Structure 1
Amino acid sequence: MIGIENYLGFIIAGIIMNLTPGADTIYIITRSIAQGKKAGIYSVLGISCGAIIHVILAGLGLSVILANSILAFNIIKWIGAVYLIYLGVKMLLDKSKLFADKQTEFEKLNFWKIFRQGFWTNLLNPKVAIFFLSLLPQFIKPEYVDSSIPFIILGLTFLTTGTIWCLFLAYSASFMTNTLRNNDRIGKIMKKVSGFVFVGLGLQLLLKRN
């Protein structure tokens, strides 16, 4: 493949990274269990669109600025951390039921809002940009380092495997909704746990050294 070496090795490495839990995983599972399969799918689409931006930036070389500029990295890191903390605090303070009582209530959900939150959760995570810049060059032939094509091909490959895995998570988690819908206590516990996880991820992002 153009400018790429050990493509199979990259796919394996990408799948391993996809299986590693993170903010995206927590967001998808929470949405899918609480609000059903359709909400989970919209959260996956939002996260995937955020990842597309990272792929384009890596391909164009603009992400190098983020990797080499402490100021740029910190600005994005702080914005992303604050957003994660905001989502977490919102979950902790929200008094509404986590699980919808009826399937028809899923139709009233603001799917654009779910998509948008997923998009920003991924886009404002500087670790994603750094991941692309640190992993992708290892699978690109030296004579092609100045070309954007290999970066984009590898980035889209990672995006494809990641989207497939996230859709699997969304479908699997949504099946739990019918079982948990009548247990409001479990819903409250899950909402609190998810809120603390998001706040913890945000604080970790803020406190972690560059």
Structure 2
Amino acid sequence: MLHHYVVPLAAFAVAALVFTITPGLDTVMILRTAAADGRRCAAGAILGIGAGLSLWGIGAVFGLTALLAASATAFMAVKFAGALYLAWMGIGLLLRPRSGLTAPEERASAHKQSTHPFWMGFQRGLLTDILNPKVGIFVITFFPQFIPHHVDMALFTLLQAFIQVVLSVLWLGLLVLLTVPLAGFFNRPTVMRRLDRLTGLIFIGFGAKLFMTHNPH
């Protein structure tokens, strides 16, 4: 009975790894967060992305992702919310680029708001994935291709989601480890401003791409 799961899950893991390491919105967001906000914020963002992927996986089990694909209204609502969120972040980075990793006034503001960097990153990562319907569409179009006959579909889907989350956390964590040591370079005012503006443009580009995405069904 176990072999009915092991081989298909191994094949899925290989395919999911290729998908995971392909640069996308999560990669850009994590690299920028690690460079600009530090390791704690980046760690929170990684776990936020993992939580978002987990929710999409659970949604697939209960048919919520299928509803997203079948309902034009639901798809449009999530798509517009995600596109606006990305545009809002991108415009903010373009209009207010930082001159350093953490400006004194930003530290004071964070202290007043009592917002821990980890939870700030977690919210950022979670919203980035939850408000991206393309992740849901990926789950319902990619996951089923590896589900064999004669298995518990709900259990298999949860295992797939678990594998996807683990791969994402490991890969993004590696990116953070490679980025944080370069903090001295990124802390240069010119570099920081250019990084923020470039990231802002990329976020706006992803938002526009998301806005133009059509429901596959």
Do Structure 1 and Structure 2 share a fold, with TM-score over 0.5? yes
- What is the aligned-residue RMSD (CA, Å)? 2.2
In 1, are the aligned partners of 2:79 and 2:211 still within 8 Å (CA)?
yes
**Residue 157 of structure 2, aligned match among 151, 155, 175:** 151
Q: Distance in 2 between matches of 1:95 and 1:88?
A: 10
Among 83, 93, 96, the alignment partner of 2:95 is 93
Q: 1:175: which partner in 2?
A: 181
- Picking from 35, 39, 42, the partner of 2:41 is 39
Match of 1:114 among 117, 121, 143: 121
Alpha carbons of 1:205 and 1:98: their partners in 2 closer, same or farther (altered >3 Å)? farther
Rounded to whole Å, the distance in 2 between the matches of 1:138 and 1:197 is 31
Does the aligned pair in 2 maintain the 1:40–1:170 contact within 8 Å? yes
Partner in structure 2 of residue 126 of structure 1: 133
Moved more, 89-98 or 152-161: 89-98
In structure 2, distance between residues paired with 1:2 and 1:124: 36
Please name the residue that 2:56 is paired with: 54
TM-score in terms of structure 2 length:
0.87
State the partner residue of 2:200.
195
Equivalence for 1:13: 15
- How far 1:58 sits from its partner (Å)? 1.1
Q: CA deviation at 1:163?
A: 0.8
Contact 1:15 1:161 in 2 (8 A): yes
Q: Which runs of 5+ in 2 are unaligned?
A: none
Displacement of 1:131: 0.8
Pick one of 121, 144, 154 that aligns with 1:137. 144
> 1:71: Cα distance to partner?
1.7
State how many pairs are aligned.
206
> Is the contact made by 1:31 and 1:39 (CA closer than 8 Å) also made in structure 2?
yes
2:214 counterpart SS class: coil
Shift of 1:45: 1.2
